[in-house]
Amino acid sequence: MVRYLKPGKIIVASHNPGKVMEISDLLNPLGYETLSAKELGLMEPEETGKTFIENAEIKAKSAAENTSIPAIADDSGLCVDLLLGEPGIFSARWAGPKKDFSLAMNKVENALNNKNVDPTGQKAKFVCALSLCWPDGHCENFEGQISGTLSFPPKGKFGFGYDPIFKPLGFDITFGEMDPDKKHSMSHRAEAFNQLVKICISEKK
């Protein structure tokens, strides 16, 4: 049975400031006070799932159980067609222990060069799974996607992660070049969030 989220405090179970900001920007106008896992000193659980949803649920469930406050977590990544969906659920790991996404984007480019193709123009998609969990272990899960192509070298000062090399379909600029409000309105994260709002927030009002 679907569970609705009451207004109040909610943990954004992430240590990634970009993700925390995007999710907070979506939740705050709806009457929720967001707190990040990092500011609460929560440890990052080991992501042992085999899908984006499994990993998002691991993070949200851990935060909710350790704080007795509902938590939301995002697991997202870049999936490149010619790389058979990689880096996929390992998108953050491609950035190394220092979470250097310049390194990660370079790895994507090199992997495509090794296939003797032009990295620019290759088909890819961003996937975002959102998991909303309560302290009793109940979770509601949602997933959004947006398709596009890769563009090298990286461009843009906005966004985070792989945004500077991803052009959504129908646009000639990367997410890194796009106005943040525009990106928020159409991204994979926005699609997943809109599903969450429709199911867990809007219906209770």
- 9-37 as b/e: b if 16+ CB within 10 A: ebbbbbbbeebbbbbbebbeeeebebbbb
User: Are 81 and 20 in contact, with CB atoms under 8 Å apart?
Assistant: no
The question of whether 75 is a catalytic residue gets the answer yes
Residue of 75, 81, 118, 179 marked catalytic: 75
Measured in whole angstroms, the distance separating CA 61 from the mean position of its chain's CA atoms is 16
**Can you tell me the distance from the alpha carbon of 173 to that of 9, in angstroms, rounded to the nearest whole number?**
36
Angstrom CA distances, 139 to 61, 77, 85, 130, stand at 8, 21, 26, 10
Q: Which residues are catalytic?
A: 75
